[in-house]
Amino acid sequence: MHCPTIPGAHNWLDKLRSSKGFPLDNGLNLENFLKSSSPSPNPNFSGDVSPPLLCHSPENSLNLINASGFSATKRDPGAWFDIMTDVLSDLFNMEGSYDFRRLRDSRDRKNGRKQSRPRICALSAEELPNFSARNNADNNSGVGGGSRDDADVDISSCSRTEVTVIDTSIATWKSEKVIYRKAHVWKVRERKGNSCGKGRGGESLVLKKRRLGQNKKGQDGVGISASTECLDDQDRRFQRRQICLASPEAEKKQAFSSISNAGNLVYLNKDWCEDGSVDVLVVIWWAIGKRENNGEALATYYKGLVSLPIYLVSMLLVRDQVCSNVLKPRTRNGFSDVLIHWFSEPALLFK
């Protein structure tokens, strides 16, 4: 923590106290503080310093100040207690420091809303989850800005819960989110493949992106292919593209060449597709780095080989919907970036 140089501050404690906004010479040393650790029985609640966990979010531009007024010098003993609690919390990482405030608040605040004699629920910082939400490439996710850096928590160690959220301020008012939660740390992500929610106007997100020319890489570093259009399947949940079956020979060769050069594994047993047991070929591709166009090339290649409707689906869209035991990555030389599978029932993919 950077402590600015305070005139008259002689030692680290003085500097620390000065940096926290209270005078050096007021007799409020640690011993006094401990002696007065029971704050006044009737503190002005609104004089509390706002809990930092709730409020210190640069994204929402909340300019948090002392709620009782505009001067920080007229703090009551309860406020001093809060300040010292915060200081000690900063110094010694006292996670329980907010307990003091919570206990005090729960004693002092009463105000009715939903019951004639309501009990007060003063949520302390401990009870409030550290909430972090991130938008995907789209701006319509309706997820607020994060309150702390995402990078400090490994998402793989968090519990994962999928929720469907209705937010009528979003054009596509229905969206599916994934909540990653570990203790009091939350992260919210847009669920992959969740871009076709119905809504006012009925225009899908991906179609909108295509129309607006916003086909940019998502934050995962995985691109969304321009060839992935949004259509409605029976559930109207996923995007697919039916590709014309006829293909010039030259185009087929070029496509195959492109795939080979990219080092992807092409896995296709033509007989499987044309023995009558398969109604449709679903090409699922997983683009990595600069290879995001390979999915389109794959589809171009396949359309010359099989007389089946082909659905090209980005792995980005189905990654979270497909059971891992259904799609087994085919690997070659320890590298796998293309998954190909076909189903007689495409709906299996989308369950």
Partner 1 sequence: MTFNYQKSNSGLRKVKEAGPSSLPNGQDKFETIFKVSRKTFNYICSLVKDDLAKGSSLTSTDGKVLSPEDQVAIALRRLSSGDSLHIVGEFCGVNHSTVSIITWRFVESMEERAIHHLKWPDNKEMEGIKSKFERIRGLPNCCGAIDTTHIVLSLPSVEASKLWCDHENKYSMVLQAIVDPDMRFRDIVTGWPGSMNDFLTLKTSRFFKLCEKGKRLNGKKVELSEGFEVREYILGDMGFPLLPWLVTPYQGKDVSGCRVEFNRRHFATRVVAQRALARLKDMWKIVQKVMWRPDKHKLPRIILVCCLLHNIIIDRGDEVQDEMPLSHQHDSGYRQQMCQAVDKNGLVMREKLSQYLSDRLPP
What is the closest distance, in whole angstroms, from the C-beta atom of residue 24 to partner 1 in the complex? 27
Looking only at residues 51 through 90 of this chain, which bind partner 1 when binding is defined by CB under 8 A? 51, 54-55, 57, 59-65, 67, 70
Nearer residue to partner 1 within complex by CB, 10 or 114: 114
Which of the ranges 31-39, 166-174, 281-289, 330-338 carries the binding residues for partner 1, by CB under 8 A?
166-174
Size of interface with partner 1, in residues (CB under 8 A) = 64
What is the closest distance, in whole angstroms, from the C-beta atom of residue 320 to partner 1 in the complex? 13
Distance (Å, whole) CA 153 – CA 182: 9
Nearest C-alpha neighbor of 86 from the set 130, 12, 33: 33
Kindly state the tokens that stand for 86.
């915060």
Binding residue for partner 1 (CB under 8 A) from 34, 91, 120, 155? 120
Binding residue for partner 1 (CB under 8 A) from 10, 35, 119, 290? 119
> What ranges in 179-337 are assigned the alpha helix state H?
205-212, 249-262, 270-274, 294-303, 315-318
What is the closest distance, in whole angstroms, from the C-beta atom of residue 106 to partner 1 in the complex? 9
Kindly state the tokens that stand for 123.
């949520």
Nearest C-alpha neighbor of 349 from the set 266, 279, 245: 279
Binding residue for partner 1 (CB under 8 A) from 17, 48, 97, 240? 48
Count Cβ atoms within 10 A of the Cβ of residue 15 and give its class: 0-12 exposed, 13-18 middle, 19 or more buried.
middle
Binding residue for partner 1 (CB under 8 A) from 86, 98, 138, 176? 176
What is the closest distance, in whole angstroms, from the C-beta atom of residue 175 to partner 1 in the complex? 9
Q: Does residue 167 interact with partner 1 by CB under 8 A?
A: yes
Q: Which residue has the tokens 């794959």?
A: 298
Phi, psi of 283, deg, nearest 5: -100, 115
Chain mean position to CA 200: 24
What is the closest distance, in whole angstroms, from the C-beta atom of residue 140 to partner 1 in the complex? 8
Binding residue for partner 1 (CB under 8 A) from 33, 90, 144, 336? 144
**Which region holds residue 335: left if phi is over 0, alpha if psi is between -120 and 50, else beta?**
beta
Looking only at residues 184 through 223 of this chain, which bind partner 1 when binding is defined by CB under 8 A? 188, 198-200
Q: Which residue has the tokens 């979270």?
A: 320
Tell me the sheet residues that pair with 333: none
Q: Which residue has the tokens 């070929």?
A: 281
Q: Footprint of partner 1 on this chain (CB under 8 A)?
A: 42, 44-46, 48, 50-51, 54-55, 57, 59-65, 67, 70, 105, 108-109, 111-116, 118-123, 127-129, 131, 133, 140, 142-145, 159, 161-170, 173-174, 176, 179, 181, 188, 198-200
